[in-house]
Amino acid sequence: MGIPEHEKLTIGEFFAAISGSEGRYELVGGIAYAMAGAKEGHNVICSNVQTAFVPAGKQKGCRTTSSDTAVQTGPDTIRYPGVVVDCGPPNAVAMTASKPTIIVEVSSPGTAVFDYGAKLREYQGVESVETVMQIESEIALVKVHRRQKNGTWTEETFEEFDVSIPLPSLATSITLNEIYDTLDVKPRPRLQVVRSDHTLR
């Protein structure tokens, strides 16, 4: 079954349409959109994060899965984050995470604006999601969004490689050293201000 262009699909129709499809798609407002292929850096980061989360997730009865696990963010919207920690009941045939708790998105310069805007708001609208991590793939930069007890969200930025990022949902933490392991990723460039002690006379 092919992917209909510009045709509204239900979630069930979407999963049926992508079954056996070679391409990767997301469903947004009932429309299926092709996803761009990921670069090596993106894939390595997802693998590193998944490797770090798996042991802690098992201790909490959660499963840490890669970008093939869908998260339903609306009645007709399906997203595929880079990494999903699902703490709901296990179901080997489920098409979507039953209780996504931690969402990890890996951004590139071409996707950052969207990932930090509409997609972030979608994830924050999922009741079970407690933490959304946004990881830049080409510079050392991680933003962590956390749901507070009153329902509001806070944001922290991490740029130091050896600073621990706490993840209370899994009773663990992760560092940028672990996230970017084996990748040659540099810190974000900073403005260098040069001041002169000389005064004009």
- How do residues 132-186 score in pLDDT, each as one tens digit? 999 999 999 999 999 999 999 999 999 999 999 999 999 999 999 999 999 998 8
- Percentage of the chain with pLDDT > 70? 89
Instruction: Please check whether residue 64 is in contact with residue 57, taking contact to mean a CB–CB distance below 8 angstroms.
Output: yes
- Percentage of the chain with pLDDT > 90? 67
Q: What is the pTM of this model?
A: 0.87
Q: What are the start and end residues of each CATH 3.90.1570.10 domain in the chain?
A: 39-187
Measured distance CA(30)–CA(44) in Å, rounded: 31
Fold for the domain defined by 39-187? tt1808, chain A (3.90.1570)
DSSP state of 96: B
Sheet with strand 153-158: strands edge to edge: 63-65, 83-86, 100-107, 131-136, 142-147, 153-158
Strand partners, 83: 104
